[in-house]
Amino acid sequence: MIEARKWGEFSDGREVSLFTLTGSDGFQVQITNYGGIITSILAPDKDKVPGEVTLGYDEFESYTDEIPYFGCITGRVANRIGKAEFTLNGKTYKLAANNGNNHLHGGVKGFDKVLWDARVEGETLELKYLSPDGDEGYPGNLETTVTYSIEEGTGLRIEYKAVTDAETPVNLTNHTYFNLAGSGNVLDHRLEIPGSQVTFADAESIANGDTLPVEETPMDFRKATRIGERIGADYQLLNWALGYDCNWILDKNMGEYGLAAFVKDEASGRLMEVLTTQPGILFYSGNYLDETIASRTGGQLEKHSGFCLETQHYPNSPNIPSFPSVILRPGEVYNHTTLFRFKRCKCGG
């Protein structure tokens, strides 16, 4: 079941809607057509009591402030593009440098800051947006469709599609911050990522094409490990990012739909599985969350009070020929699926 209501209004009179998708055992997801933002997910704990597991806000106006991409669609290209430029067919395209010297999550006004056209079709919410040629420096008119639906009662399925009339890079993802405990930090969450390598990122978080094995490093999450267990280790990638902010190369075949991450909070008994067709997943441990950012309840956030698991192609791919291509061509369809599936367990200590 999907319910829709007016949630806000821009100064020019355009209305913003909020959609509520309801599953089983109290599972509920709220999504707005502003930025395709997942504003709330209620998931049942081990006692079947539903609780909030995302960072975000209950009012539209809070999302118009400068916040760290809570819950949104990021695009045209998620993550960073080095020096805010790329070359395609011999032409160099200059993008907005909105993260130091680099381009981040689609630019100054990326897909997270636009109003999408919304349509409810049965049990599916469909959002559409036409990004015009030259938008934030990207070539081609890109028509993007993102659909949300409940799967198996307590899972959120997100499907991304896009078509273009000119060659252009596309790499879409969702940027929800999760906290399965509902409050505090996430350092006691246990995380598993089936990835044997990560993409190297420098002090500006820019990938250069190199990959690193995770074995015998703090990046090894092939077995479930506390997020906080090695976050303070003296390791270059952690030192530069002040915690985890790195892309894992998934061991599954590219394009294969399979497990990308598993997270468990033992205190609440909540589990979350992430499945995707994408070749990579970026794990970010909320390193820059702090008391300057308001929480949903009116207090302040703390460092590591949420984590992101962004299913995607590799960062800076438009500039790295050895990475899987993110170039979409006329006549092709960009298409990928991600599922956030929530479960319960009687966890041990």
Catalytically active residues, by annotation: 175, 310
Chain center to CA of 312: 8
Q: Report d(CA 175, CA 294) in Å as an integer.
A: 18
Buried b / exposed e over 266-278, threshold 16 CB at 10 Å, is: bebbbbbbbbbbb
Q: Where are the beta strands (DSSP E) in 112-251?
A: 117-121, 124-131, 142-151, 155-164, 168-169, 173-174, 190-192, 197-201, 207-213, 225-226, 245-249
3-class DSSP string for 116-151: CEEEEECCEEEEEEEECCCHHHCCCCEEEEEEEEEE
Q: How many CB atoms lie within 10 A of CB 317?
A: 27
Coil, strand or helix at 182: coil
